[in-house]
Amino acid sequence: MFRLAPETKDDWWEVENLYDLSFAPGREALSSYRLREGVDPISALCLVARDDLGVLSGVIRYWPIVIGEDKAETLLLGPIAVHPTCQGEGLGNLLMHQSLGAARALGWKRVLLVGDAPYYGRFGFQKNTNLDYPQPVNPERVLTLELSDGAFDGVSGVVAKAS
């Protein structure tokens, strides 16, 4: 059984260690990290999952970004990580559903991520070719989700850091 809670500043070291364990070295060099630099995450949507012993088992974070000339406010999802010993237990699914539901409840309309379409497609994410995502990125991995109907209608252009 896993317990979800908002991430706190006291979780930082454990969260960063889980990200280091889960992702290849040099993850901070990815273009998504340029969108996060100097910007605070959306704390109400950043969740940690702990097992019955209190061990950190998973984490998900969200960041504010803007898209296009109209600066359409959007969530950048990621990173999400599940400890290797907990993979296949539905924890990623739980983190995704809980955090997306919270984002919808807070009034967010759209989410963007860079990831694997077959995995994130089961949550409703789809490839979006109307966006100019910072390079380097594989455009096939730029995925979006509407939290309200039509949220990406007319939204196109440069994906940028929120100010």
For residues 94-122, b (16+ Cβ closer than 10 Å) or e, as one string?
bbbeebbebbeeeebbbbbbbbeeeebee
pTM of the model: 0.95
> 3-state class of 9 per DSSP?
helix
Q: What is the pLDDT of residue 55?
A: 96
> 3-state class of 35 per DSSP?
helix
Q: What is the pLDDT of residue 23?
A: 86
> 3-state class of 94 per DSSP?
helix
Residue identified by tokens 């990831």 is 115
Asked if residues 24 and 61 have their Cβ atoms less than 8 Å apart, the reply is: no
The first and second tokens of residue 110, run together, are 């759209």
Q: Residue-wise pLDDT tens for the chain (163 aa)?
A: 899 999 999 999 999 999 999 987 777 767 887 899 999 999 999 999 999 999 999 999 999 999 999 999 999 999 999 999 999 999 999 999 999 999 999 999 999 999 999 999 999 999 999 999 999 999 999 999 999 999 999 999 999 999 8
The span from the CA of 147 to the CA of 145, in Å, is 6
* ω into 84 cis (within 30 of 0): no
The span from the CA of 155 to the CA of 79, in Å, is 23
For β-strands 72-82 and 110-114, DSSP reports them as parallel
Asked if residues 112 and 159 have their Cβ atoms less than 8 Å apart, the reply is: yes
Of all helices (H) and strands (E), which one includes residue 65? strand 56-67
Give the domains, in start order, of the chain with CATH numbers: 3-161 (3.40.630.30)
